[in-house]
Chain A
């Protein structure tokens, strides 16, 4: 598995490369610049591009824009975005490029090296990994805006949130302190409710997340306007 790494903080870049290599992942190249990241991705065709969002040259969301551009020209390239803070809009833009093989995590998650390397491998394999923070924002918002989402029970929603974070059934069972068997039952009911046809399990998991988030994802323009009292002129 080959990775190209974009991170402008030297120490973090070196640390990340070290962690990945220690886990047996090949770091094909690293860079501190978003434009160079695009060039590297085009030249080296890695399995996965890991990049910080705030990057030179613009210092704003250049990493995100580079990642989206890479995905547009090379759809098979998987993306893992790292950031000091997460928000729903960036997650939506990333998911718009296709929910398979994308990840969006807070930088601090790197500290849990084992989980992080697991997430990296999962994204590289075409899975979806979203930070718990961004998942909770999306699920909260989705349940606020759309009544029919309440079709999922609270427990099912919690399980789906954990699936969206890229967790396995075993990990979810451990987290929720129930048997793995119980989780499998929940997952099956979620598939039924979201009307997902039987197929390869991993693929269905990703589809569940996409379906859930796309159903409930709101972007300016595609949401139903709320009915509020007309503003009064003062």
Chain B
């Protein structure tokens, strides 16, 4: 599993959340026991209050686990603690009562924070940070006179004086300031909605609308209730119900909204830095980060001019799905294929692609290497098969026939007169078989290459090339590594065969030079040009061979300009 391979810090997240949940449940249990024993009224909504706190905690924990890079989960948990603290205000124990009074409005401040920070859980700009700070100032700061000057209605340890007019003035100020903050927040959210993509707008609108409505309701419901003559108990119950709906709304919007995965993508980056990954685990990580289980990672293989899967097999990005190209260093290294119905915003896929680009490039290089090795192995195998077939179909058959002829001779079945002619036939047949064997051996490894080295072997190639030719071996030497010699010879053989077969050249020249620790072979013709290294074929095979020795192959073959093929080999 992808998540299990995350950084050690993240692996401890479930443990931390379990501990937090245990503490919160214990706190809620103590409160409920206290409320029940003290017989506070109205009992039902007051007992329900800590449960609302637990609801926040549950939503927060789930969100935090599912989106570890997103702070919304943390904010919901923080709100859960504030709710539990505020609920404690209903107990008669002075310490708890006081704590409840201090934090009575804190959940509303956190709600404003949540709303402003949605969907990433982070406050994105200075305005939202000021507003969130303002929310806390109003809900915590302006709440202070409510207990400092409350006299008998607050625990004695919190009260410094009894000033009902001050309390009333501050209550009004708090409401006005609160409404201002909410209005400003609503304006800010409206501005954000306008900039959001069509797909995100639905989720953002519902969360913003629900959040602002809740805030307005919590702030104004007391006034509303007094106008509509609703009892304080009913009002409290209604407030609790509306407030209890908040965590679910946030969590659902975040997890199902198909957006706000920026944090996930950062996690993806952290995971990439943490250890070793292959294409399969990269794919899983990508799918998890995008929240699209069907997301697939395709590697681009330039020489095959195609995408390939982890096994090097060619793949075509499926039609009807979204495809986003991944680039590293300005070059295409791969692509992400994703469910366009699930992820409407290609930008998030592009971002994820950028994060994994370097890892994808490494996988791409590995895939290219694997493909090249496979081609070399396949070429060697094909060569062995060809030799086996040539030996079997040609030589073996001939030798059987010759053995038969010899048998006839031995049995004296050809008559005295025919013996000489039959023996001559037999000799000629053997000579043909020997010639064939010689050609076969020459094809595998030319004797001159072994006896005299590269320049002589290439001269021999030119002797057998039906074109006027010129060989320049200035500065070339015979002391070359055998592998380089063979590869250079095969490059020359292939290039000369192409000159004759495809280029329609009238002359050809080969230059062989050794400069420093490098052997360079250049084959030029005056043919029609236009040669291209296709995904398969001779040129591809040459490139693989040269690559395998750490060399490079350059092809210049403009139409009408002849073909120049240059191979460079490091050779110590």
Contacts and interface: CB of A to CB of B under 8 A. Distances in A.
A84 B441 CA distance: 10
Nearest to A147: B468
Contact of B466 (A112, A144, A233): A144
A234 B427 contact: no
A226 B509 contact: yes
Contacts of B272: none
Contacts of A54: 447, 451
Contact of B431 (A85, A111, A137): A111
Interface stretch (B67-75, B86-94, B558-566): B558-566
Given A88-B460, A234-B554, A228 B507 contact: yes
Contacts of B459: 88-89, 220
A85 B526 CA distance: 31
Contacts of A144: 466-469
Nearest to A224: B470
Nearest to A234: B554
Contact of A85 (B430, B447, B456, B566): B447
Give the size range of B's interface with the partner: 35 or more
Nearest to B451: A60
A157 B451 CA distance: 32
A87 interface: yes
Contact of A60 (B434, B450, B463, B554): B450
A112 to B, nearest CB: 7
Main secondary structure of the interface of B (DSSP, over half): mixed
Contact of B525 (A137, A220, A228): A228
Contacts of A111: 427, 430-431
B397 to A, nearest CB: 19
A220 B456 CA distance: 10
Given A231-B564, A232-B561, A234-B556, A88 B507 contact: no
Contact of B566 (A89, A140, A141, A231): A231
A61 B466 contact: no
Interface in A130-183: 137, 140-141, 144-145
B522 interface: yes
Interface in B430-453: 430-431, 434-435, 438, 441-442, 447-448, 450-452
A108 B434 contact: yes
A65 B263 CA distance: 78
Nearest to B565: A231
A223 interface: yes
B562 A229 contact: yes
A197 interface: no
A225 B566 CA distance: 19
Interface of B: 427, 430-431, 434-435, 438, 441-442, 447-448, 450-452, 455-456, 459-460, 463-464, 466-473, 507-509, 522, 524-526, 554-556, 558, 561-562, 564, 566
Given A84-B438, A88-B460, A232-B558, 10 more contacts: A84-B441, A88-B459, A89-B460, A108-B431, A220-B459, A220-B471, A220-B473, A226-B469, A229-B564, A231-B564
